[in-house]
Structure 1
């Protein structure tokens, strides 16, 4: 019986196979585990239930976005007090802005994978 594939959009992570393809949930779990701290990635409940892992990855990425925004917003006030030259401060501000953009893309990717896991029964029923 051929496997069916769900359409994916531009936010679908290239590290994750398309939903419905062979072993796609395993690739999703592998990618999601990279987004959470190592101590969480080994918790059996998160591994057995990919949707739970996706939820935690979503929370993790949202927190990282908050941290990067705080760092960006406070950079002009805080970094000069550290004795850093203006060129380093400007580079750091650009770095934070770029990181926020990247994290927002990752957040959209996590949402896409979460939706596919939810629609495909990614509850960890032994299909990996």
Structure 2
């Protein structure tokens, strides 16, 4: 998908010095490993249809646009926290360019790998 190729180039350009390893291109995804140990898997089916999942240690979270949580202010995009709870998406917007959304998320993850949403464990 050319969108993934374009996103990979944008990430390398804007965050190359903050990546632990070069961007990894998969058939349907990009994998970006950040200097703080976050591994971000980026999947864009269309500019307004995406899944952005990341891990930090044993914790996993993600943002996607599956139209399932109509009660959230950010519908259709939403955040799945480390405990599987669903929250309004604090970072991305489907009406923004994919490169903008990914850059916003990378900046946020570099600052706080779980976006400040703590586990209840």
**What's the TM-score once normalised by structure 1's chain length?**
0.26
Give the structure with the larger strand fraction: 2
Q: Per chain length, whose mean CA-contact separation is higher, i.e. which structure has more relative contact order (CA < 8 Å, sep 6+)?
A: 1
Give the structure with the larger helix fraction: 1
